[in-house]
Structure 1
Amino acid sequence: MCPRRRRLPTRVDVGRRPLMLYAQTPAHEKRRLFRDALASGELLRLPGAFNPLSARLIERKGFDGVYISGAVLSADLGLPDIGLTTLTEVAQRAGQIARMTELPAIVDADTGFGEPMNVARTIQTLEDAGLAGTHIEDQVNPKRCGHLDGKEVVDLATATQRIRAAADARRDANFLIMARTDIRAVEGLAATIDRAKALVDAGADAVFPEALRGLGEFEAVATALDVPVLANMTEFGKSALFTVDELRAAGVRMAIWPVSLLRMAMGAAERALDTLLADGALDTQLGAMQHRADLYDLIDYQGYSRFDAGVFDFTVER
């Protein structure tokens, strides 16, 4: 039997947010609550948001957090995930997503956007943008998607310098510094565990071992470390797609589905366009669309209308 889940606590109940605009829970409080949830030992589920509205939907459905993928941010710009996005682009878009939800949001910061001093600036910029945490990886610049062949990783000294710079730069102690390592595809599982331990010693609060093969490997990494381990459940990659229960049993404490919603949305968009080309209309696709009423409810259209009526409730005498 699965353990009973506790909701990630927030100041605002899902579906009952105060009026309009952005989240009511300040960033430092989201970070504290996220740390508390991680300390509980439960597995936290963070689907990937591809825009601010999808982050609000993730919240409404009752998930524990929001993940913001570097691959998604690149794809949103029509670019491949090979380190072409800048810190400014990532922080701006991630901030737009994070401010739209009461949930904590974790963002992919690739290799930190430069040398250790650049990594330090990255952390403070992401703090200012309202993120709850980030992960820095140990690939060689320019990086590539973690589930492609031909990756290269930096030496241990460089990898630990990045994490040390990140940990030293943060001003909010609850901002989560996660170390991602891609060394499994290069040197194997034993090297993954050794590097993960070194990255924790350098200041990492959690570890993201990329492209592990099988639940046994996740369990081996989780057993070897005394910090939370994240599992990347990306489709069409090196890792099998395990269930939340399987990952929990293996000792994993965070799971992400980084590109899933984007893939679903783009697949639906392609099918709709094909239908429009073939039939000249989309009336047959209405059942597959989000209804306008549901969209208006999600963005709290009525709340904006009430606010507008409450402010502009006067007439100017002439």
Structure 2
Amino acid sequence: MFNASSKTNIRELLANAGSRPVVSVGVGDAMSARLASVTEGIDAILTSGFAISAQQLGLPDVEMYSRTENVQAVERICYVSGKPVIADMDTGYGNAVNVIKSLHEFERAGVQGVIIEDQVSPKRCPVCVDTTNVIIPKAEAVGKIRAAAENRRNLETLLIARTDAVEFDEAVSRAKAYREAGADLVQPISRLFSDKADIRRFVDAVGCPVSLVVVGWLEGLSKEDLAATGASIVHFALVPVTAVHHAVGQVMAQLGRAGSAEALEAVRSPHTAIVKDMGMESIGVLEEKYLPRESEL
């Protein structure tokens, strides 16, 4: 188990990153968060709506879960995470007033930051659909960001404002407006860009810290390429969930064909490794410290 006080502050990470972006990885469950927490080179954890939908519900990311279900998943992740957690807060679950309540719920769950997007509700993850998503009027979106910025219970909570605008000038205009409303970082969607030069152009145009989700063709960019974009934080949102999907699907197919686990080809972790990584050693330490010996009963 991890102590929340051991977590690095996300604002300190961003302030001290230098020329390289802060690296975040998307997770949809607490086991993935534990593994990310002990992995060198990963600075922070993103609770990915796509991954939560897939791993918790077995459904696509089209806001099929409620705010309560999202918060519950995030709370479990925060409890075991040794690194700062940023939550995908979707559209904020209502209007600007609802956003305030939503933000407080996620703050209470233990996050150090949230992402709020400007889609209509129910939202649709851009990687789940081929069409352009419908976004709310800019004034309404600005109100949501301002409401969040002015009503944080923790003044350190990081606000990332995402725009799903796919026309470059509109995306820049919205990003600037969200920054003026109080967002700490702005986040475009990958569909806005056709190459890495486009990303740099966006970063330069908005003139403020940018959060970049690395999905689709962006996963082909090198560490040096990502640093050259000028993004302040990069989120590898889908790498873990796509790896889990492939690995579990592969071993299920092999087990179904063989009817036995004797000669499975898929590589699996020994159960002892899982027990260790889930923190059984710390449980033993706590038992030794707090539970009475049989002779004392």
Q: Which amino acid in 1 is paired with 2:187?
A: F
- Tell me which residue corresponds to 2:46: 67
Of residues 302-311 and 272-281 in structure 1, the stretch that sits farther from structure 2 once superposed is 302-311
Using the TM superposition, give the Cα deviation of residue 238 of structure 1 relative to its aligned residue in structure 2, in angstroms: 6.5
How high is the TM-score relative to the length of structure 1?
A: 0.85
Post-superposition, which runs of at least 4 consecutive aligned residues in structure 1 deviate over 4 A? none
Using the TM superposition, give the Cα deviation of residue 73 of structure 1 relative to its aligned residue in structure 2, in angstroms: 1.6
Alpha-carbon distance in structure 1 between the residues aligned to 2:124 and 2:45: 22
- Residue 134 of structure 1 aligns to a residue whose secondary structure is strand
1:277 aligns with 2:256: yes
Using the TM superposition, give the Cα deviation of residue 225 of structure 1 relative to its aligned residue in structure 2, in angstroms: 3.0
- Tell me which residue corresponds to 1:15: none
Q: Which amino acid in 2 is paired with 1:217?
A: D
Q: Which amino acid in 1 is paired with 2:35?
A: L
1:23 aligns with 2:3: yes
Change (3 A) 1:309 1:272: same
Contact 1:136–1:179 (Cα < 8 Å) also in 2: yes
Using the TM superposition, give the Cα deviation of residue 287 of structure 1 relative to its aligned residue in structure 2, in angstroms: 6.3
Alpha-carbon distance in structure 1 between the residues aligned to 2:86 and 2:4: 18
Alpha-carbon distance in structure 2 between the residues aligned to 1:240 and 1:190: 24
Contact 1:38–1:228 (Cα < 8 Å) also in 2: no
Unaligned runs of 5+ in 1: 1-20
How high is the TM-score relative to the length of structure 2?
A: 0.91
Superposition pairs for residues 51-90 of structure 1, below 5 Å?
Answer: 51-62=29-40, 63-75=42-54, 76-90=56-70
Q: Which amino acid in 1 is paired with 2:196?
A: L
- Tell me which residue corresponds to 1:106: 86
1:169 aligns with 2:151: yes
1:39 maps to which of 11, 15, 21: 15
- Tell me which residue corresponds to 1:219: 200
Per-residue CA deviations over 1:87-123 (Å, capped at 9, x if unaligned) read: 1111111011012112001111111000111001111
Count of residue pairs the alignment pairs up: 288
Which protein has the bigger helix share? 2
1:232 maps to which of 213, 236, 240: 213
- Residue 153 of structure 2 aligns to a residue whose secondary structure is coil
Contact 1:49–1:68 (Cα < 8 Å) also in 2: yes
- Tell me which residue corresponds to 2:132: 150
Cα RMSD (Å) of the superposition?
A: 1.9
Using the TM superposition, give the Cα deviation of residue 264 of structure 1 relative to its aligned residue in structure 2, in angstroms: 1.0
Alpha-carbon distance in structure 1 between the residues aligned to 2:162 and 2:12: 22
Per-residue CA deviations over 1:215-265 (Å, capped at 9, x if unaligned) read: 11211121123432122112xx47563223211111011111212211111
Superposition pairs for residues 284-303 of structure 1, below 5 Å?
Answer: 284-285=263-264, 288-303=267-282
Alpha-carbon distance in structure 2 between the residues aligned to 1:98 and 1:241: 29
Q: Which amino acid in 1 is paired with 2:246?
A: G
Contact 2:27–2:52 (Cα < 8 Å) also in 1: no
Per-residue CA deviations over 1:159-210 (Å, capped at 9, x if unaligned) read: 10111111111021110011000002xxx11211111111100111001101
Alpha-carbon distance in structure 2 between the residues aligned to 1:119 and 1:79: 24
- Tell me which residue corresponds to 2:120: 140
1:189 aligns with 2:189: no
